[in-house]
Amino acid sequence: MDPRGALPMSMPEWTPEQFDLVLKQGGPRALISHAQSLIAPAGLDCLSVTLRICTAGPTVHFYHHSSFAPAWDQRYIADKLFDFDPSISNDNHCHGELPLFWHGRLFDEAMPLCETAAEFGISFSHGWSQSVFDARQNSTVLNVFRSHGPISTEEFYEHEARVLLLGSRLHAALYNYHLPEIPSPVPIPNLSKREREVLYAFIELKNAKRVARALSIKESTVHFHSNNARKKTGATSTMSAAYIMRDQDIREHTPPPGKGL
């Protein structure tokens, strides 16, 4: 990294509520435009997001959104350029959520990607990639970059944590947006109100003891309802059952227990 780059500029604050509101009002295009406005003060004028959603079986669904023309996003998916994109390669993100700084030869073997991008005036020159994973093995890679001027070490470390947070916010918002578009697997049997309450509490609290305390019930009652939920969903763990239920609720726009839409 070149330590002689421009002086770092701070990024503004943001909240999950901001993202949800923008996405609800204007869809992914508006959300990406909002995200771009957040990184622009740091001298990063380009942004792209590639979302992977894993479903039952081997199928993986890809979605791509960027600060460039919609035609580029469509072409990226239609031509399966994600197969050539080193910025989202599992090999380059094998260390979890560590950022991938773009070195000079990263895109050397990605000619189909680079040649197609050039048609849209896109150059992968100076930037980095931030991966985000969730408990269901879905992932998002957020690329932040600019076409001119190297990114200094100081800039990178100044904004690294904020870009990770931005990636997490985008992943959550876009996952919830795109999941209903994916055909649902065999619907799960209806869960009782208490089973749903227990599973939603598990997502936040992670273990039966905390769930029992939060719901003011016995721990044995928590185990009873979580066992029933696992049997109904076919899940191997209570947390897996909870995510299956939540994804089904997102598809059907069903509010969590005790909450409105």
- Coil, helix or strand at residue 195: helix
Residue 218 lies in domain? 193-252
Q: What is the DSSP letter of 100?
A: E
Last residue of a domain, one of 181, 201, 219: 181
CATH for 156: 3.30.450.80
- Is residue 257 domain-resident? no
Give the integer Cα–Cα distance in Å for 80 and 166: 25
Give yes or no: residues 247 and 144 share one domain: no
Is 226 inside a domain boundary?
yes
**In this structure, are 222 and 136 located in the same domain?**
no
149, 44 in Cβ contact below 8 A?
no
Residue 122 has a pLDDT of: 95
Shared domain for 214 and 160, answered yes or no, is no
**Would 9 be classed as within a structural domain?**
no
Flag whether 29 is in a domain.
yes
Q: Structure pTM? A: 0.73
- Integer Cα distance of 69 and 87 in angstroms: 19
Neighbours of 52 (CB within 10 A): 19
Check whether 257 has a pLDDT greater than 60. yes
pLDDT at residue 118, rounded to an integer:
95
Q: What is the pLDDT of residues 201-244, one digit of tens each?
A: 998 888 899 999 999 999 999 999 999 999 888 888 898 888 88
> Is 97 in the same domain as 218?
no
Report the number of distinct structural domains present in the chain.
Answer: 2
Flag whether 108 is in a domain. Answer: yes
Q: What is the C-alpha to C-alpha distance for residues 97 and 167, in angstroms, rounded to an integer?
A: 10
Whether residue 86 sits in one domain with residue 139: yes
In a 13 Å sphere around the CA of 138, the CA atoms on its Cβ side amount to 25
State the pLDDT at residue 92.
57
pLDDT at 76 over 60: yes
Q: What is the mean pLDDT of residues 134-149?
A: 89
CA distance 75 to 215: 49
Same domain, 211 and 111: no
Flag whether pLDDT at 84 surpasses 80.
yes
107 close to 124: Cβ distance less than 8 angstroms: yes
260 found inside a domain: no
